[in-house]
Amino acid sequence: MAVSQNKPLPKNIKYGIVLDAGSSHTNLYVYAWPAEKENDTGVVHQVEVCKVEGLGISGYSQDTEKAGLSLQQCMKRAQEVVPEQQHGETPVYLGATAGMRLLSLQNRSIADRVLSAVEKTLHSSPFNFQGARVISGQEEGAYGWITINYLLGNFRQPGWLNFLPHLRSSRGTSGALDLGGASTQITFVPDQEPIESQENSLHFRLYGKNYNVYTHSFLCYGKDQALRLKLASDLQASSTRNGSLLDPCFHPGYLRIMNISDLYMNPCIANGEQQLPFTQLHLQGNGDYQRCRMTIQKIFNTSHCPYSSCSFNGIFLPPLQGEFGAFSAFYFVMNFLNLTTEKNPVPLDKVTSTVERFCSRPWHEVKAEFPKIKEKYLSEYCFSGTYILSLLENGYGFTTEKWQSIQFLGKIGSSDAGWTLGYMLNLTNMIPAEKPPTRPLSHASYVGLMVFCSLVLVAVLLLGWLTFHKPKCLQKGLI
């Protein structure tokens, strides 16, 4: 159970809870905001995050008891964070993402069973449970975009701009790049209007301003599913008779054995299993970045495009526009490789050479250097780093110059970058379509202002009186 910061909060605070049921695990987020400011931008912040172990795509079908216990523990933690008298009014939402979208495609009844088991636990909590649902890829992209722009203050218009309407909207929004285990999303406001493909087009009116947003979610192109796609493509291209495969995306000396059925039991991969004369795959790393990049390239089909421009697999992508925030696994991987900086983005050639060097390092050396990192994560940073470069450069077309517009983001302030905050802001109607009217002054500010004006008035009157009615003593002194 991971626990984050717990700052003392002023009184009159409201709370909301969102559970992100992802493909690897579930995270529970507790958000808080001052009640009287709930329509302002940037006031909601994360006060707690708790990791529900086992409640992910593999946990759904395996250790359900462990997942259930871990969920109860996180709900208990939330009960400690939110004051008891507010439990009943605190909404709880659960959104399941691509892992569950895949599970639903594969086996609808398991997916329904898991959701109702989770719903049962959440109904029995003292909070105001609002329901569990699988969110669409489009929603995942849109809410991620709303979250980062809300937290970056990009929806905020300084009040004085109301008097100078021609200067409004001088500040742009930031695009959002989200990499999960099962899907990846790209969302931004393009220059080109209208957006050529209806299914990639969203319209928002937020704080009195219109946004035409492009979004696409690539199911099966999250980093875990992309590895499977790559392995299936490698197997198809190889002539192995015993299931041994040299894999350039793993470190030299690394060995992994996988069941062929696990690889193919997945709607992302067209079933080719029956033709194979072996049941297990023996992967042997040889840490060759260039070859890894070539094998990954094969999972992006760029042979057709029915629009003026595409990313891959015939999906429309308008020219990239503005700054981008890249989060979730984009951040986890780049952060591990020391390629995230607070200030200037690390140039593309340095990122490439760092990933290349890392891939070539022997596995025993890497393992010895990072003994505390989970082997699953550590063994895949070479693949993941190379995949991120392929996706961003070849998939989306980030050139060396455009790369400089990407900022890898873990947190913005105290809140994690991700879709959950945007989801809650939307469901609680905390982002109004119109700009809220300027609030009248508070009582204290009003009294302060009155006292200040009175003092200025007295000072002016006194000065005037002194100027025109100089006291006699002063007049004598001057003669």
Ligand X SMILES: Nc1nc2c(ncn2[C@@H]2O[C@H](COP(=O)(O)OP(=O)(O)OP(=O)(O)O)[C@@H](O)[C@H]2O)c(=O)[nH]1
- What is the contact surface with ligand X in residues (CB under 6 A)? 22-24, 97-99, 180-183, 222-224, 328-329, 332, 336, 377
Of residues 33 and 408, the one with the C-beta less far from ligand X: 408
Q: How far apart are CA 450 and CA 452, in angstroms?
A: 5
Is residue 138 within 8 A of residue 218, CB to CB? The reply is no
Is residue 246 within 8 A of residue 220, CB to CB? The reply is no
Catalytic residues: 140
Count the alpha carbons within 13 Å of 322 in the hemisphere toward its beta carbon: 22
Residue 75: phi and psi, rounded to 5, are -65, -35
Cβ neighbors of 88 (< 8 A, separation 6 or more) are 126, 127, 128
Is residue 30 within 8 A of residue 15, CB to CB? The reply is yes
Q: What is the DSSP letter of 393?
A: I
Q: How far apart are CA 252 and CA 359, in angstroms?
A: 8
Of residues 223 and 293, the one with the C-beta less far from ligand X: 223
Q: How far apart are CA 99 and CA 198, in angstroms?
A: 25
Provide the terminal-to-terminal Cα distance of the chain, rounded to the nearest Å: 86
Of residues 377 and 396, the one with the C-beta less far from ligand X: 377
Question: Which residue has the CB atom at the shortest distance from ligand X?
Answer: 22
Of residues 19 and 232, the one with the C-beta less far from ligand X: 19
Of residues 90 and 384, the one with the C-beta less far from ligand X: 384
Is residue 243 within 8 A of residue 275, CB to CB? The reply is no
H or E segment and range at residue 80: helix 64-81
Question: Minimum distance from CB of 135 to ligand X (Å)?
Answer: 9
Of residues 147 and 328, the one with the C-beta less far from ligand X: 328
Of residues 54 and 99, the one with the C-beta less far from ligand X: 99
Q: How far apart are CA 195 and CA 199, in angstroms?
A: 9
H or E segment and range at residue 77: helix 64-81
Residue located via tokens 């989970």: 374
Question: Minimum distance from CB of 428 to ligand X (Å)?
Answer: 22
Closest residue by Cα to residue 173 from 198, 140, 206, 196? 206
Question: Minimum distance from CB of 329 to ligand X (Å)?
Answer: 4
Residue 332: phi and psi, rounded to 5, are -55, -45
Question: Minimum distance from CB of 418 to ligand X (Å)?
Answer: 7
Question: Minimum distance from CB of 140 to ligand X (Å)?
Answer: 6
Strands (E), 372-442: 406-408, 411-412, 415-416
Three-state DSSP class for residue 258: strand
Question: Minimum distance from CB of 377 to ligand X (Å)?
Answer: 4
Question: Minimum distance from CB of 257 to ligand X (Å)?
Answer: 20
